[in-house]
Amino acid sequence: MKVLMIDDDNELARAMMPVFKTYSIDVEASYTPEDGLQRLREQSYDLLMLDIMLPDINGFELCRQIRMSKEPHHDVPIIMLTARADLTDLVVGLETGADDYVTKPFEPRELVARIHAVRRRFQERAATQAAKAPESEEHISFQLDNAFLTIDPVKARAYVGQTPVTLTSMEYELLLVLAKNSGQAFSRDDLIYALQGINRICTRSIDAIVYRLRQKLRHINTEADFIRTVRGRGYSLIGMRILAPPPDQRPGVD
């Protein structure tokens, strides 16, 4: 497994490399965000470990930039590293697109276990998508006023009108759960159970994921307010289920 570690603590990186090698994990270290991004553009990595406290730009913003990028590395699994054990950091990290979160100091074997767990989830999701025939699961489409939401379960993508929505794996999975059960209210615990394959998820991180989803949908079309809060119950996806949006609103073909 090839892993990139972006952390300005070069002593930590050097100390961890022999440990990782014991577990057949090949780690390369970058000590600045700029160098890390350049490596991601030039090489392919199985996973990224990203420190929050970085010079010039913090790990949260760097994670957000990676996820919003249209380059091939935009979906690389990301584990955030931080010396702060504040729950707010956990929520923000997940909100910006991280797949897991580890606090310093950490037990090397715990970090190794988390690396393997995150990578395994990523591979299982990719294998499931690849195994589906294109016609095995049709697009799921909704209309709300003048906004159209389309989900392609085969490619694991979502569109508002013709515009693709850049989503993290957790954002997409949560949206898919709501879409497949439109009109049904899901409590935070329900959603945690539905996303149980994701480590360290909690009720506050569910709120953060829903918030980001709403922002991304409405950024494309202000009328795309498909996710609603059901007071005392949780969250629900609303809108009229349709066979397909009109031609001028359908996603383009890649």
How far apart, in whole angstroms, are the C-alpha atoms of residue 217 and residue 210? 11
Q: What is the mean pLDDT of the chain?
A: 84
Residue with token string 């999701």: 125
2-130 has CATH 3.20.20.70 classification: no
What is the total residue count of the chain?
A: 254
Q: What separation in angstroms does the CA of 118 have from each of 45, 86, 205?
A: 13, 22, 17
140-249 has CATH 1.10.10.10 classification: yes
Question: Model's pTM, two decimal places?
Answer: 0.59
Q: Under a CB-based contact definition with an 8 Å cutoff, are residues 19 and 108 in contact?
A: yes
> Would you tell me how many other CB atoms lie within 10 Å of the CB of residue 40?
21
**Dihedral class, residue 231 (left if φ above 0, else alpha if ψ from -120 to 50, else beta):** beta
Q: Under a CB-based contact definition with an 8 Å cutoff, are residues 191 and 213 in contact?
A: no
pLDDT of 80 reads: 87
How far apart, in whole angstroms, are the C-alpha atoms of residue 182 and residue 149? 12
**Residue range 201-222, pLDDT digits in tens:** 566 678 888 998 999 999 999 9
Q: Is the pLDDT of residue 1 over 80?
A: yes
> Would you tell me how many other CB atoms lie within 10 Å of the CB of residue 173?
19
pLDDT of 253 reads: 53
pLDDT of 223 reads: 94
Chain region(s) in the chain for CATH 3.40.50.2300: 2-130
Among 191, 184, 229, 198, CA closest to 211: 229
Q: Under a CB-based contact definition with an 8 Å cutoff, are residues 117 and 194 in contact?
A: no
**Residue range 85-134, pLDDT digits in tens:** 665 666 666 667 788 888 888 888 888 988 988 888 777 766 655 554 44
Which residues lie closer than 8 Å to 76 by C-beta, 6 or more apart?
40, 45, 46, 47, 48, 66
Chain region(s) in the chain for CATH 1.10.10.10: 140-249
Among 140, 100, 120, CA closest to 149: 140
